[in-house]
Amino acid sequence: MKTWEYPINYYRFYIGFLFPLGILSLSYFRVLRAVGKSAGTQTAQKTRIKYLVTSTIVIFLVCFSPYHVFLLVRTVFERDCAFIENIFNYYHFSLLLTSFNCVADPALYCFISENAQKGIQKAQDACTRVFCCCSKSHGRFSTHSTEMVVTHDNVKGTSVVTLLQQIKTEV
């Protein structure tokens, strides 16, 4: 690392990481305080907001902390090529995590909405019905099928309609 890069890396650590983390934390703390004092907000909504705020800060820390810590470690300890060779893969993985934030935050905001949760629940229920592998009581079930055949003659020939009915009984 060149000498002129040291101050830039410190600047990136403080202004690019600690400053935004401080602003984010302070802002969300004030949001939580305002929501906590709000008489019109239901308890369930307050809990949801608390989880959203906590998740947003955790996502920020998971995505940006590793890169900035490695940046700081490189600035302080990197004096030869052997050091960078030892942390090369970790450093680049931490760089990859910074891009993950672009996906994680929108996904979080999507899944926190009630409509998305209802859609996920409907999809889960549909999968449960199709695969019959999960139940709400987690009991053991025996499944048997009955077959009902309806035969009906018409001018062109005989058509047969087969109806399968699956019955689940708890064992």
Block mean pLDDT (10 aa), the chain, length 171: 88 95 95 89 87 92 94 85 82 90 85 79 84 54 44 49 48 50
Give the torsion sign (CA, 71, 74, 75, 77).
positive
DSSP 113: S
Q: Provide the whole-model pTM.
A: 0.64
pLDDT at 3: 84
pLDDT at 168: 53
Please name the amino acid found at residue 30: R
